[in-house]
Structure 1
């Protein structure tokens, strides 16, 4: 994937698209008794499959371009999804990483489009992105209907007229960006695992062995001639599937596609590769050391690809083993013997093979031999006994429920456009998803057991990550694997090649008028106990999403012990007066429901995603978790150990460590100084008790601090009685509701400074910087600041990202954001950069901020992009139920009017360059910034000299016992 920074508007879109023994609680918090078990509505897997349908029409141009059209008129947008049938599996020795490198080059402009992002983002496209994987390269944009011709013109120009614009300068810059993307992944805890997994499972030369991002050596050696040849050999229209989904029909689409793509000549057909699963001759065990907090044990095999008849059974079988919340591994190792803090198992499916993986993070203090014996016993018992009928049904129902939810989106990387494209590319059938879903619905315990025994009884590759010093570098990994035996003189990556003729001139079409945003109608009700209810009805899919927000959040820990709120919330689904954790998980799976309990700085939230047919029992289960948590000593000890392991993980993650440090430094003793992950600190987490959990529950989870918001396929007449039944008898206690001191004093303003946290052997430095602003998220009239942030670092075309990523190639992405909490806001800058450019990056950030607006006022192009471009993008931001729910909740939290987003277009149009510049001058200057750098001290510290900022050096905490 080639993008990472998000604008405040784009980040909004991303956030919108988003879419763990005491007596029972005191009597005032109790509702009417609930049944011992709620029974799901009689919705069978076959009935769920019948609800999944994406009608389409298909046509093929004479040059071989296949086009699929799906009509969905719910919003005035069209998703453009293009799949090229080339991925890393097609790369030969010495050219690893080429498909992904070309994905980046595709955005650098073509013969008639100087920059691919600028026109599309100005037209309101969101998202505009691309990604590469073993089997394909894809590009996605969802545009207003009036911008469809522009999107097709641009996609056709880079398909047919790209090479004249691919210069040595562009190649060098994108080579640097890709190499920093590789370093960013390698720098994470367990970041080298994927390299070792492929090396151990597959022989040298197998198309799935080398990584998609490739090796540093191959990227360094890539020449302009190489990349030209790669393009002409793979990117012809006959190797492409185009999907148009949304506000479009085939009759309209056909002439448009013929107009823009019809004159592109066919290219060579891509030769098939042999890339099936491999059986190891004998079991293999390998340990690697890494800067990680806990031992991770894994078991790995290859298996057949997505078109194999056994793949649905393997997918469901692995989901039962370690994907469900009630999985075999969870039940036996996390909640049963308590030898693991987390587990998972999955089938990572590709076109021609898949990777079967089961994994456990060993609980600190547990002997490795004990953990390994328990781990392997779960698999042996599972293969011997097979799954139960109930397990198969629960797994299939939960997977199908997720598929139905995915139908809300017409585009993006996982919407209906991608579903149809992948069916055509991988299976020559756009409706192949129906075959897969029907096969899953028809599975039996016997068929799942047979597939698992066939593939998991083969010799295993046990790959284990052991805490310790990292001894190898990702720079030397990801390539073919036999470079030492096939040494060749390195190519000159700057060898001179002749320029290519520009080709025929083509003119971009104008963007037609874009329909205004229509936010869904809002209905209101109040339960008998005073809880306000907000509903936005939407009927695109037979599901709904509900959030119950409590005015608490991690800031509430300012009145308690740090980590209290997060740990208390994690315990709500671990047992009630009538259910244990396994029963809670199983019931959700039978219902096709998902109950997520989490917090933010301002709110503690219980979110329910449910099938409309199963709403009543899903609500009853949700109410039981909120009203009747048991807080048993045994559950508490287990969940606390998991939280301590999560804290250790946070200390080992360079970004998490930087974020925790910056937050604490900026907010001091204010409630917002509480860590944003809700884990508190090592000392406070160790001291927490079950009694404190119950006290926090009684204090903060009460009806007079609650709000309910619902979006989806339900009417208020249906919803209100069910909510009343579930929550209406819940009474507030007599004591006044607590109030968080959000007006507490902040630390006195400080001069700029740098805190360097030494993390040896880091190929990248993570730079985070920030300052608390003299406003809150509820301060009215701050829209100019949001737009100024977009100009500076809030979107892909922002100044910081264009400078440090696109021009200098030092980072995979630089971004800024202005938080909008109920209390004091914060400006935050994030810049993961190659280690040897840490000081230069800080210098560049300061210079770019200081120049805005004094030396570089807002340009006309920037003004159009962040105002009119954002306005045009609005209809696409509210495509999903989760998106609308997020907006409703945010409006309530920030005390905005319900029609805020409908008013926003008018507000943006009234904001000129001067207002944006004024906001930048007031809020976005570098003076007083605190920089936190997590990186290798011996590499970084010398670079910080001459920045005229005091430097404080700290050691990185090694685990939860330190901070």
Structure 2
């Protein structure tokens, strides 16, 4: 049970402590040193980790009130641009729930001076990590762009802030309303999809600003008008209500000049008065029981707690980690390991600006009385409140949290990089460096302080929520609203913002200082400098591939075995999944709790997994703790515990996971589609690696050990390392931990790809899932290619058809029709075969129409209207210019390094891609599509309510087979 501990808004920048050396690898010296080595490694102290952290910044404010924060990070020619507006769903008046989020969507549909879709401009300039999000407190927009594109993206962001309204039409509003409503349906359609409503509606009373969910209600979304759009923009999107952060290849003087040029002429907006939000307390304990299409009963215990700006927030995060956030937590040990009455437990402290939600949850082990689990769960909570955390528990929580924060700071932008963390601190605490104060607070927290605050907040009346398996008794169509307060956005504006303002468009008139008639020219863009790949071989023959990255003091390691799902058959499927699950719960020396504690003390994460062709064990380590972390990784792989009680515990969890798969629409589509398209071929096995319940129940310890001995052996593995170390150092450490691991005398195994793939027979397989507000469409075709073939032209061709936001399938079903939150197609490659797949979650009443449109788009693209000039330009420019952003982090580099070795690419493969893309022609891409994509060979899977969907499918002229979900 590995989980990421959720800190509040803790963000850190790292001044890397590099151990990089260019000295050659002296294998003889390494072996001699290993022979004499008898060192007992200890983790670096927390103080050393804290000392590694620094996030310098400059801050200035324009005359119009725009706050600008600048952080210089020259590791790559990239700048993270993040704009945060101090407005979210808590600002919505009665009858307008969901509007903040709906407006966020409208901000991507073009402005007065840049009328095209936002992604058209961003892709042309090579932007990455592009998105916008809304929560109860704020709305943000972000992207990472090449340094040479900074002027252009600043012009675009400033145009959204100062020149939007004339570009918003009724057609755009209606379209995005449909998109958001399908986003709501998509969330509601998933197991536990109604949880978001239960949390906010029960913990926060009617009239409280956090009472309704950000997605809103269908009725309120239907009621949104153009006047609402106009007033929302005027009242909330002025520069004085925003924070702009530039992080990366930029200095303050340059930033000031550019920001003044593009944003300085936008007039201030009305002064915003924010609604008062308190932390409510339930009058008495509350319990609600509901049903959902889930595999087992889930119990929740919830309380409101202080928000992120409170000094009590960080200690409550630590309390959550000790109680149920760490893998070694109190709840894990009591309810999952020692007396396994639950298949999983967890806690998290979800902190908003003005309040937080402390959640404890437990999934009941099938066959166990939920009341028994509830009693034990409550007893553990009570014991924690009585005793508090120990010093050791608290220390592990701090180190684990710190490690996660450090890893997140390698990115300059995105969801969790430096720019959004600085923006969050400024917006909510008026201090970009607030994150460092939180870090200091975390380091100084004592068991007594955490204990006292846990007692203070968790001794109050609790909300008990019980989800039982069964058909849903209520849907989400009319949920998400029900606020009270001012009757309209206009009333809020008049009451709060407009005492001295005219509240009309003159408030956002500009002084026309910046030339917006044409987009700023892109400055010279630097190409990708992929790190040099260094190689070594351990004394036992294991190959080591290394790339140096020192942006943060971390090291990523992957030990990869030639195995994957191709090492199993339909009859044996589940063996590997149970083996790896059990291996993640201890070694011969360390039981599950001690194993979890060992990782937490090191700030290390060890995890495993597999895909179609490979099985891997990965390590995310802090550079100061690399030696003991590698020792623990080697022990994990070489000396699995495979204790009988752990096998039984993991078996129960996987049986529950399998049951969950058979209720999740996306998992049902994957299982059904792969079986229909690939047949008995290994690629026809479910991606989860779970076969039948009978197989899981029959597996023995001997089966697991046999798979381990057969496939997880040193002559079947290679090691990849990326991070803040050197090849010489990492080879020395790997020699110590893996060098004496010898291969058995038996022959090395080979994957078996010989099973025949069925001849394609187009049809629709409808999997009945009653009461589904949305259908999942999944289609696929096996191509006559392998992963080692040159797939660049085919992948590029599909970018026009279905491979991106602006591709035809998505623009049709989402942006034009409003039937889906997102749809598309992809080229998925494995060693043995390549797969063309289509996926589209759509509203149920448009399932047949959507399949018809998908078929039309594919046939039109292949037969009549191939890649158009504007599409080719976008494909070439985006792929050339995105390359530096695609390899910003060590994890990105690790993935690239693995692909180079897996598919026998040259070391400079990624550095040559720009020139490859620059020579692509439309005729070349059209030829690739015609050679490989045949709509008549696609088998379509539909997971939805057969009563609603079947009549629609009967009109398509294809064979339709209706089935129930199958193992």
Q: TM-score scaled by structure 1?
A: 0.93
Q: Does 1:944 align with 2:944?
A: no
* Cα pair distance change 1:487/1:474, threshold 3 Å: farther
Q: Does 1:144 align with 2:154?
A: no
Indicate the SS of the match to 2:205. Answer: coil
Paired residue for 1:26? Answer: none
Deviation at 1:558, TM superposition (A): 2.4
Q: Does 1:94 align with 2:100?
A: no
Tell me if the contact between 1:111 and 1:502 (Cα under 8 Å) persists in the aligned partners: no
Identify the match of residue 517 of structure 2 among 488, 506, 509: 506
Paired residue for 1:58? Answer: 59
Tell me if the contact between 1:816 and 1:828 (Cα under 8 Å) persists in the aligned partners: yes
Indicate the SS of the match to 1:558. Answer: coil
Paired residue for 1:239? Answer: 241
In 1: Cα distance, 2:157 partner to 2:287 partner: 47
Deviation readout 1:543-594 (Å, 9 max, x if unpaired): 1000000001122112971111111111112232211011000000000100
Indicate the SS of the match to 1:646. Answer: helix
Deviation at 1:199, TM superposition (A): 1.0
Tell me if the contact between 1:34 and 1:624 (Cα under 8 Å) persists in the aligned partners: no
Deviation readout 1:832-870 (Å, 9 max, x if unpaired): 000000000000000000011432221121111111211
In 1: Cα distance, 2:249 partner to 2:102 partner: 32
* Cα pair distance change 1:35/1:596, threshold 3 Å: farther
In 1: Cα distance, 2:833 partner to 2:347 partner: 42
Identify the match of residue 836 of structure 1 among 833, 845, 866: 845
Deviation at 1:174, TM superposition (A): 0.2
Of stretches 834-843 and 790-799 in structure 1, the one that deviates more from structure 2 is 790-799
In 2: Cα distance, 1:746 partner to 1:507 partner: 53
Deviation at 1:499, TM superposition (A): 12
In 2: Cα distance, 1:705 partner to 1:559 partner: 23
* Cα pair distance change 1:36/1:830, threshold 3 Å: farther
Identify the match of residue 746 of structure 1 among 747, 757, 766: 757
Paired residue for 1:778? Answer: 788
Paired residue for 2:604? Answer: 593
What does 1:181-200 correspond to in 2, within 5 Å? 181-200=183-202
In 1: Cα distance, 2:483 partner to 2:758 partner: 53
Deviation at 1:33, TM superposition (A): 13
Paired residue for 1:648? Answer: 659
Identify the match of residue 155 of structure 2 among 153, 156, 166: 153
What does 1:44-55 correspond to in 2, within 5 Å? 44-55=45-56
* Cα pair distance change 1:314/1:106, threshold 3 Å: same
Q: Does 1:621 align with 2:632?
A: yes
Tell me if the contact between 1:743 and 1:823 (Cα under 8 Å) persists in the aligned partners: no
What does 1:71-470 correspond to in 2, within 5 Å? 71-115=72-116, 116-470=118-472
* Cα pair distance change 1:502/1:824, threshold 3 Å: farther
Deviation at 1:486, TM superposition (A): 9.1
In 2: Cα distance, 1:347 partner to 1:37 partner: 39
In 1: Cα distance, 2:191 partner to 2:331 partner: 22
Paired residue for 1:6? Answer: none
Tell me if the contact between 2:783 and 2:836 (Cα under 8 Å) persists in the aligned partners: yes
Q: Does 1:684 align with 2:695?
A: yes
In 1: Cα distance, 2:36 partner to 2:283 partner: 56
* Cα pair distance change 1:487/1:402, threshold 3 Å: closer
Deviation at 1:911, TM superposition (A): 1.3
Deviation at 1:507, TM superposition (A): 2.3
Paired residue for 2:831? Answer: 822
Deviation at 1:185, TM superposition (A): 0.2
Indicate the SS of the match to 2:690. Answer: coil
Tell me if the contact between 1:765 and 1:838 (Cα under 8 Å) persists in the aligned partners: yes
Deviation at 1:924, TM superposition (A): 2.6
Paired residue for 1:859? Answer: 868
Tell me if the contact between 2:162 and 2:509 (Cα under 8 Å) persists in the aligned partners: no
* Cα pair distance change 1:486/1:159, threshold 3 Å: closer
In 1: Cα distance, 2:748 partner to 2:453 partner: 56
Deviation at 1:789, TM superposition (A): 1.4
Tell me if the contact between 2:234 and 2:505 (Cα under 8 Å) persists in the aligned partners: no
**Unaligned stretches of 5+ residues in structure 1:** 1-31, 489-497, 958-962
Deviation readout 1:72-96 (Å, 9 max, x if unpaired): 1111111110000101111111111
**Unaligned stretches of 5+ residues in structure 2:** 1-33, 490-503
In 2: Cα distance, 1:526 partner to 1:114 partner: 56
Deviation at 1:482, TM superposition (A): 6.5
Tell me if the contact between 1:51 and 1:404 (Cα under 8 Å) persists in the aligned partners: no
Deviation at 1:39, TM superposition (A): 4.4
Paired residue for 1:523? Answer: 534
Identify the match of residue 940 of structure 2 among 931, 934, 939: 931
In 2: Cα distance, 1:499 partner to 1:390 partner: 59
Deviation at 1:46, TM superposition (A): 2.7
Tell me if the contact between 1:544 and 1:711 (Cα under 8 Å) persists in the aligned partners: yes
Paired residue for 1:768? Answer: 778
Tell me if the contact between 2:266 and 2:509 (Cα under 8 Å) persists in the aligned partners: no
Indicate the SS of the match to 2:767. Answer: strand
In 2: Cα distance, 1:506 partner to 1:92 partner: 37
Identify the match of residue 550 of structure 1 among 537, 541, 561: 561
In 1: Cα distance, 2:505 partner to 2:889 partner: 46
In 2: Cα distance, 1:924 partner to 1:45 partner: 55
In 2: Cα distance, 1:592 partner to 1:523 partner: 27
In 2: Cα distance, 1:790 partner to 1:61 partner: 40
Deviation at 1:686, TM superposition (A): 2.1
Deviation at 1:197, TM superposition (A): 1.3
* Cα pair distance change 1:952/1:853, threshold 3 Å: closer
In 2: Cα distance, 1:242 partner to 1:499 partner: 23
In 1: Cα distance, 2:426 partner to 2:509 partner: 33
Q: Does 1:879 align with 2:888?
A: yes
In 2: Cα distance, 1:201 partner to 1:414 partner: 28
In 2: Cα distance, 1:632 partner to 1:47 partner: 36
Deviation readout 1:875-895 (Å, 9 max, x if unpaired): 011111110001111121122
Deviation at 1:512, TM superposition (A): 1.5
Deviation readout 1:262-314 (Å, 9 max, x if unpaired): 11110012212111211111101110111111100000000011121111110
Deviation at 1:54, TM superposition (A): 1.2
Deviation readout 1:890-933 (Å, 9 max, x if unpaired): 12112212211111111111211111111122223311111110
* Cα pair distance change 1:502/1:842, threshold 3 Å: farther
* Cα pair distance change 1:247/1:332, threshold 3 Å: same
In 1: Cα distance, 2:934 partner to 2:228 partner: 44
* Cα pair distance change 1:236/1:482, threshold 3 Å: closer
In 1: Cα distance, 2:102 partner to 2:488 partner: 23
* Cα pair distance change 1:561/1:282, threshold 3 Å: same
Deviation at 1:172, TM superposition (A): 0.2
Q: TM-score scaled by structure 2?
A: 0.93
In 2: Cα distance, 1:909 partner to 1:288 partner: 56
Say what the alpha-carbon RMSD is for the aligned residues: 2.0
In 2: Cα distance, 1:633 partner to 1:96 partner: 52
Q: Does 1:801 align with 2:802?
A: no
Paired residue for 2:6? Answer: none
Indicate the SS of the match to 2:431. Answer: coil
In 2: Cα distance, 1:895 partner to 1:682 partner: 38
Tell me if the contact between 2:570 and 2:685 (Cα under 8 Å) persists in the aligned partners: no
Deviation at 1:745, TM superposition (A): 2.1
Paired residue for 1:723? Answer: 734
In 2: Cα distance, 1:486 partner to 1:949 partner: 51
